[in-house]
Structure 1
Amino acid sequence: MDIVSRIRVDHEDYVAVRDEIIEAYDAIGYTATPIFLLIIGESRTGKSSVVREVLETYHPRQADERTIRTVVYAVAPAKASVKGLLESLLKGLGDPLWSKGTISSMTMRLHTLLHEVECKLVILDEFQHLCGRGKAALLADWLKVLLESSKFGLIAVGLPESASVVAQHKQLKQRCDEPLCMPTFDWTDKASVAQFRAVLMQFQKQLHPFELPNLASREMSLRVFLATAGRIGLVAKLLDRAVRMAIRQKRLEIRLEDLASAYKRAIWGASSFPIPGGPFLAALEDLEGRGVREAVFANAAAEPVADQSSAVEVHRADLPQEPTKRGAPKGSLRSKGSRGSDKSSRKASGELRGVL
């Protein structure tokens, strides 16, 4: 039984980034300037979820005994080099000789294959790997050459330090749009808090028939926020572990104690939580004390894991879905930092009136 992995929350920042990618896709072949988007965000903020949705939307298809790949996905190798990047891209395109040849010959093969599969967008994940000392300039030069063809665009995805790869290269920076950010939720901002609570309410609805404490209440939303540092991917991971534990114990009720156990098992650095009892068993007044949020965010920033955020939607994959439309879908949630935040914060607050 896999419920949480089939849930995705389309909040405003998520929708804004997804729509920018779709607009870039549609512009290929009609624009005279290279398309280069940079998507940045801390680990577990939903970047991978956006990429997965785009890849599912523009999946490979067969035509005349050949495979059409309008979106090609590759991961920048941990020890980035031009050759390593070429190998990753050629392998993603299905080249059986992906590791063979000189940089020049591999680049020529890459261009040939991108045209053969009718590629429109190249998505390059873990872009921060290109920040290595002494390599960034060489890699940026190669990317600039790749972008000079307006027949396909580049979507770079990575941690915030990815921006330094672009910022330090004048010509690459001129080709890049303003970075798109997937932020964490901010407990000091009322609109952001309202959205976070509305997101939790949607999670709780989709987790039926499991019975949880009222996640959208002021107390529980603070506890979940501190447990996850306001990161959507970690909310999904926490709830996934709690559901799995309940299934294993053959019960539907998930208590505060169960969330505490799930937190200890699922969240890296749980033992470093600054208050005894952790986010779910400590007294509320202690959790609201000075310095607690700062310590939580410091621990989260030190999380040594790749960004493999769980897919988090307000849709259940086992239910019929409406086709994805541009812009925020009706009933989707809005957040700080993107267009329409005032209107959306009122909407989020309205959704919560019945549960406070």
Structure 2
Amino acid sequence: MTTRTPTSAEPDQKPARAPQRRAYAMLVSIAVIMGSLALICSWSLGYPLRDPDGFLGPAWIRLPLLVAGAFIADVLPRTLYRARGNPGRFKPEATLLVKEHWTRERITLVVVGLVSFYVTYVSYRNLKNFLPFIMSDGDGHAKKYDYQLYKLDDWLLFGHNPSTLLHDVLGTGVAAHFLSFVYVLFLPMVPVSVVVWAVWSRNISFGYWFITAQCICWALGTASYYAIPTMGPNFYAVWLYHDLPHTGVADLQDALYDGRQNILFNPFADGVQSVAGFASLHVAITVTLALIGQYTLRTRAFRIGLWVYAGLTMIATTYFGWHYIADDIAGLAIAIIAVYLAGLGTGQKFDRWGRRSHPTTATSDVPLDEPV
């Protein structure tokens, strides 16, 4: 990747500092608010905060590992290509590549973006873990609104259940295994997409936009869990999903249910409970990915692929009973709100649908990277 050559009006890119502060002000604010809420809840309940395991281990391990992998993937192939097989050129070519792409602004984006995302995401997981203890019905039982949303699905589809309709239309064989793959793909996709936009976004402000939107999604999702706590149809109406084959989703649902029961009986047990239905953050996050990709990616095939992925994820959430119809609609709303607010916070201009966004004057001094 090459960077824009500084002009006489910007001899050492000093004007970029103020726009950068604006670009990450909202991002850092969300992380501080989410972290503070998690700490307050932990202190009030007397339950510990935890760093939940996930793809490649705990977040504080997997994010640096992903950045290291992205750095190697960014520098090594292009160094080998530029060196043309000459070992003596490896070091100077690698040094030049690092100087071209890994600027101070890029490093700031990676560090601030990933630390803010880490704090926001870990706080989200802990606040989700505390949900059954905070949202109680007064009799020691967690408050839930599954009956109301289940009946809403029934009303919207004139007496039919959405998951049952999908089972009848798509079948419960190959479709189940394919949609299970799509759904479980979300687990590595979240940290990988954050690292990709931080490391390879051709415009620094696009990286801030994407990560900020992600953090807003997690924050609004947390608020929705507390506004309308639910278990989800698979945990409320188990009988509707007995015809499905054993898949990775089934293993995940069993693990989440066991984890919830474990935490309910012993809040100090290892792990966190992660059962919460409203709203669907699978939908929110994947639609956010597709929306920002629509404005920032130049390759049409990538943009189409992201929308297909978001659509298949929405189908999978209903097919396996993770969410009610209202959950998916709320997830879609969260995505739109998150992308818009993050765009305002990072200085994006929203052109007509399908056109790439460009930084406003507030971020126009941030160096631009050409696509690979």
Scaled to the shorter chain, the TM-score interval is under 0.3
User: Could you state the TM-score of these two structures normalised by the residue count of structure 1?
Assistant: 0.23
User: Could you state the TM-score of these two structures normalised by the residue count of structure 2?
Assistant: 0.22
Structure having the larger proportion of residues in strand: 1
